[in-house]
């Protein structure tokens, strides 16, 4: 199947629905897809979309290993991350104040599950094998470094396909989760180097 904007959009919608269903099942709460889109962006456009958060925020990442090179990022403001941990662990809102090992693991697993919903949809639509690596956590500073690296390797004028899904968990938790799957060989290379 040819990679066209229409096919990418279909995969984005399928992936977003899968991610929403997955997060709903993980949390036993209603989850709304606030944003679901795929765009071809410049690097400066990407910076605007992911709105590079400050160093206290939480970024989980995973390299797309096979199929189309790229990376999956889960971006959370710190307070959103702590609320997500409360939600995932079944704790009352406001219980978690620190990002301990179990909390980090919960966030990484969230990335793993909801990014795979997109990867599974893309794989089915494009009839190609796709897979992502074991998730890790980084700081926002690394995101800025990643963008600089892509600019150096691919040029300032390079464009990237970006899948953006914003999921909102309703009820008392009110958590917003931003998932970005970005296809670019230089970004995949940066993620690989960072892991090494």
Partner 1 sequence: MTKILVSDDSAFMRSIITNTLREAQYTDIVEAEDGEEAIALYRSEKPDIVLLDINMPKLDGLSVLETIAPEGATVIMISAIGQQKFIDKALETGAKDFFIKPYAIKTDLVSKINCLSNEPSHD
- DSSP assignment of 99-144, as one string? --HHHHHHHHHHHHHHHHHHHHHHHHHHT---EE---EEE-HHHHH
Minimum distance, C-beta of residue 48 to partner 1, in the bound complex (Å):
29
Cβ proximity of 37 and 164 under 8 Å: yes
Minimum distance, C-beta of residue 117 to partner 1, in the bound complex (Å):
8
Q: Which is nearer to partner 1, 41 or 85 (CB)?
A: 85
Minimum distance, C-beta of residue 25 to partner 1, in the bound complex (Å):
4
Minimum distance, C-beta of residue 91 to partner 1, in the bound complex (Å):
13
Nearest-angstrom CA–CA distance, 168 and 114: 13
Binding site for partner 1 (CB under 8 A): 22, 25-26, 88, 101-102, 105-106, 108-109, 112-113, 116-117, 119-120, 123-124, 129-134
Q: Which is nearer to partner 1, 102 or 141 (CB)?
A: 102
Q: Which is nearer to partner 1, 27 or 186 (CB)?
A: 27
Cβ proximity of 68 and 130 under 8 Å: yes
Minimum distance, C-beta of residue 155 to partner 1, in the bound complex (Å):
32
Q: Which is nearer to partner 1, 112 or 165 (CB)?
A: 112
Q: Which residues contact 35 (CB under 8 A, 6 or more apart)?
A: 164, 165, 166
**Strand 175-183 to strand 70-76: parallel, antiparallel, or no bridges (unpaired)?**
antiparallel
Nearest-angstrom CA–CA distance, 176 and 75: 9
Token representation of residue 138:
């980084």
Q: Which is nearer to partner 1, 80 or 133 (CB)?
A: 133
């Amino acid at each position: 199947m040819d990679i066209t904007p229409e096919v990418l959009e279909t995969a984005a919608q399928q992936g977003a629905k899968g991610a929403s269903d997955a997060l709903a099942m993980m949390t036993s709460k209603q989850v709304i897809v606030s944003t679901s889109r795929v765009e071809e962006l410049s690097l400066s456009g990407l910076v605007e979309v992911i709105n590079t958060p400050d160093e206290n925020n939480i970024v989980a990442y995973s390299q797309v290993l096979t199929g189309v090179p790229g990376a999956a990022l889960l971006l959370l403001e710190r307070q959103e991350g702590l609320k997500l941990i409360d939600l995932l662990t079944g704790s009352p809102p406001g219980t978690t104040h620190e990002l301990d090992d179990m909390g980090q693991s919960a966030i990484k697993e969230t990335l793993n599950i909801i990014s795979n919903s997109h990867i599974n949809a893309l794989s089915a639509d494009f009839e190609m094998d796709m897979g992502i690596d074991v998730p890790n956590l980084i700081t926002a500073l690394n995101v800025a470094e990643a963008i600089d690296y892509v600019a150096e390797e691919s040029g300032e004028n390079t464009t990237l396909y970006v899948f953006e899904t914003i999921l909102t968990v309703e009820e008392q938790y009110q958590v917003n989760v931003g998932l970005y799957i970005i296809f670019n060989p230089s970004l995949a290379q940066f993620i690989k180097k960072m892991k090494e």
